[in-house]
Structure 1
């Protein structure tokens, strides 16, 4: 399900990489309820290609500040050494190289003999190009490509894009004369045929080579999306082709960063979405995608599925895997054990895609139960399977476990909860914008 990692883990900006017989994810590290993007540490998770539900945490793989268990992995420090959006590639020597952006500082390259690290500092980037190139020489949010001929390219940028070739013999030296600015335009006045705001570059470069074509996954100025452009060359020119996923469709949107990977013949897009009523606490999600023969990638919707084909409605569903939140409701983590959809108001919609209710069912009804926390108000939770209302559950002032009979349905369905109150007239104004209850989990029962 989504998120695909344990629900307490916050790994945004996910870069998925297949090394050997495992899929690895490298990303930033957020904290629940933090007022900052990212952390001073990078972590790595992986799963066997044969079982994408068995994710293993390999722990901290790189640090820019000492903590209770590790010294800093860099030999320069400051008040703000937050680590943003890493990438890892395998070099021509078989070693694994980690590229990271350290806030407001020249980034660095680290190396390991294993894809899961830990990584040791190799060098800062070395170059003779002017400091103003590549965002003051910081190489923000780097994405790296080792091409089939062994040449290495780094792509980066914030509000303007850059690429450059890296010396494949040492993996940190930028080759003189190789830097190209605006390989994806950031304004409508620049050349390149990118006229729409949805195509203009903002941040989050992630390169891939697929069937001989070079793909650039990136976050456009319409920042809740992941867009993509293609080229016949690693240095462009790139042509905008569309967007893959939008984490702001019927959901509290925010920045997006991720990439695509093929696992066992199936393509996926890794991305993140927001929790805790902020744009800082981001959890990694994944959706199945298709790459058509002409190289295009049809947009996909956000779901609660992750790697699953469907969810089981007859197993308890945690409320915080909602993929639709319309209104003022949002997901929050109260502690390591408790997460809920909170701030639920009159008119809000909470949705989950998709459940498989199975084949024909001999009875005309089944039961629905939800665990809630009351907020001193009475309200109704209308239960929908796709566009069909199948029941209504009343939630009292003290909440608790609520139950109701609902119409039995079959097949693959999205489930939505639409919230309403009976308050009306001048007294209803007191409850118009009031939190009604919190949703913790729910289940259908035959």
Structure 2
């Protein structure tokens, strides 16, 4: 078990890449996050799940490994039934269609994918037990059980469905529902044992590409008397946004309502999104992921507060650096991996000096940090970097730079800055770049 304090976005240290986050407040009052774990260098996910928890949304506990694919008996049994039938020598239907969609957006090199990967999970509490719903890279799905929200989860049972991205929801009357699917989401009532489907209750094509821009990653919550289905959406082309649809019933029909957050621009190779919404200590949040390292994978847990309008719609929010935490303050070192919006060729990846940096920088590239907050006038800025170039610093939507830093082989030749008190978006623009890497920036 490890503790991480005063976390912003991404929530965890850069080497811990947790995508597909499903967040649930459990009976102990803490919020628990269940997600995949991008440990592979090229492929999505891994053979393990982690569980994270927090009491205040800024200090987090990493509870370690909660489940491993070697616990799944059918994954290594070629005679075990699969739903639908799967030929292990060929890519699954999910992967085939994913490759086709990626190719239409110029992504022609597919991530390598092993056959025993644990894809996106979900979890829920009922009657003293915790149920972890999981899916595998062979399109099989299952559920494992634990006595604690962090696991370890054991005794997996295969579910009578095939596909990816399971989701679970329990209504106010105690009835549980299960959702799954990619490109088309399906839903069904669960029996009281939480591992079997109620006969005759499956609703196919509950959420679809054509009507709802659905890509993958169902997640269902209730706010007031309305049911919200949150999912990865192709509304804007690539499935980088989380959209939502609403209904007056857990099994629909659902009406498309809009987008909650879009992670396009977090990395030049940004490809997908997957997440959930949850109310924690009276505030609703969206849990999502951002990619890094100029890859489709290496996706990282991020969080933003969200707000409902009186008509039940959700206001779209921007990606931020502060996340659920506070803005960056005076004399606080803002590490490069907190940049929330990038344009051009620049991306976040391990630096030659250790840690992570903004690298791959070309002239006119930009990097944004949201937000800083200063009580006093700021008249000094320092940048930790390698290489040479000029960094123009803009605040908010201003067209005139508030400052400039000139670097030569990592040394600062000159710097100037003037920033008024208040909360600001900080935008870096790069000029005359030669092998430039930026590790951090500090305002004083």
Segment drifting more, 281-290 vs 387-396:
387-396
Whether 1:180 and 2:197 are equivalent positions in the alignment is: no
**Alignment match of 2:391 (pick from 381, 403, 408):** 381
Q: Tell me the equivalent position of 1:242.
A: 258
State which structure, 1 or 2, has the greater radius of gyration over its C-alpha atoms: 1
Q: Tell me the equivalent position of 2:63.
A: 58
CA distance in 2, matches of 1:313, 1:283: 26
CA distance in 1, matches of 2:146, 2:350: 34
Q: Secondary structure at the match of 1:281?
A: coil
The 1:251–1:77 alpha-carbon spacing in structure 2 relative to 1, beyond 3 Å, is: closer
Q: Tell me the equivalent position of 1:292.
A: 309
Alignment of 1:20-59 (within 5 A): 20-31=28-39, 34-48=41-55, 51-59=56-64
Q: Deviations over 1:113-141 (max 9, x none)?
A: 1111000023111x4xxxxxxxxx32410
Say if 1:8 and 1:336, in contact at 8 Å, map to a contact too: no
Q: Secondary structure at the match of 1:76?
A: helix
Q: How many residues in Structure 1 have an aligned counterpart in Structure 2?
A: 393
C-alpha displacement of 1:403: 5.4
Alignment of 1:127-142 (within 5 A): 127=160, 137-142=161-166
CA distance in 1, matches of 2:246, 2:352: 43
Alignment of 1:254-293 (within 5 A): 254-293=271-310
Q: Tell me the equivalent position of 2:130.
A: 96
Q: Deviations over 1:366-385 (max 9, x none)?
A: 211111111xxx42111112
**Alignment match of 1:218 (pick from 231, 234, 258):** 231
Say if 2:71 and 2:156, in contact at 8 Å, map to a contact too: no
Segment drifting more, 409-418 vs 227-236:
409-418
RMSD between superposed Cα atoms in Å: 1.9
Whether 1:319 and 2:329 are equivalent positions in the alignment is: no
Q: Tell me the equivalent position of 1:356.
A: 373
- Using the size of structure 1 for normalisation, the TM-score is 0.84
CA distance in 1, matches of 2:410, 2:307: 43
C-alpha displacement of 1:203: 0.4
**Alignment match of 1:228 (pick from 241, 244, 263):** 244
Q: Deviations over 1:30-63 (max 9, x none)?
A: 12x7110100000001112xx3222111110000
Q: Tell me the equivalent position of 1:430.
A: none
- Using the size of structure 2 for normalisation, the TM-score is 0.85
Say if 1:161 and 1:186, in contact at 8 Å, map to a contact too: no
CA distance in 1, matches of 2:422, 2:13: 28
Q: Deviations over 1:133-166 (max 9, x none)?
A: xxxx324100111112221111111111111121
Whether 1:74 and 2:109 are equivalent positions in the alignment is: no
CA distance in 2, matches of 1:11, 1:104: 21
Q: Deviations over 1:223-278 (max 9, x none)?
A: 01000001000110001110100000575332000011111111110000010100
Alignment of 1:384-395 (within 5 A): 384-386=394-396, 387=398, 388-395=400-407
CA distance in 2, matches of 1:73, 1:335: 38
Say if 2:57 and 2:325, in contact at 8 Å, map to a contact too: no
CA distance in 1, matches of 2:429, 2:171: 50
The 1:213–1:347 alpha-carbon spacing in structure 2 relative to 1, beyond 3 Å, is: same
Say if 2:266 and 2:292, in contact at 8 Å, map to a contact too: no
C-alpha displacement of 1:289: 0.6
CA distance in 2, matches of 1:438, 1:349: 13
Alignment of 1:108-147 (within 5 A): 108-125=142-159, 127=160, 137-147=161-171
Say if 2:265 and 2:343, in contact at 8 Å, map to a contact too: no
Say if 1:369 and 1:403, in contact at 8 Å, map to a contact too: no
Q: Tell me the equivalent position of 1:431.
A: none
Whether 1:2 and 2:9 are equivalent positions in the alignment is: yes
Q: Secondary structure at the match of 1:275?
A: coil
CA distance in 2, matches of 1:408, 1:60: 45
C-alpha displacement of 1:28: 0.3
CA distance in 1, matches of 2:59, 2:391: 35
CA distance in 1, matches of 2:124, 2:275: 15
Q: Secondary structure at the match of 1:389?
A: coil
CA distance in 2, matches of 1:390, 1:368: 11
Q: Secondary structure at the match of 2:44?
A: coil
Q: Secondary structure at the match of 1:164?
A: strand
Q: Tell me the equivalent position of 1:171.
A: 194
Q: Deviations over 1:64-99 (max 9, x none)?
A: 1xxxxxxx22223446110011000012x2210000
Q: Tell me the equivalent position of 2:20.
A: 13
C-alpha displacement of 1:323: 0.7
CA distance in 2, matches of 1:103, 1:171: 22
Say if 1:204 and 1:257, in contact at 8 Å, map to a contact too: yes
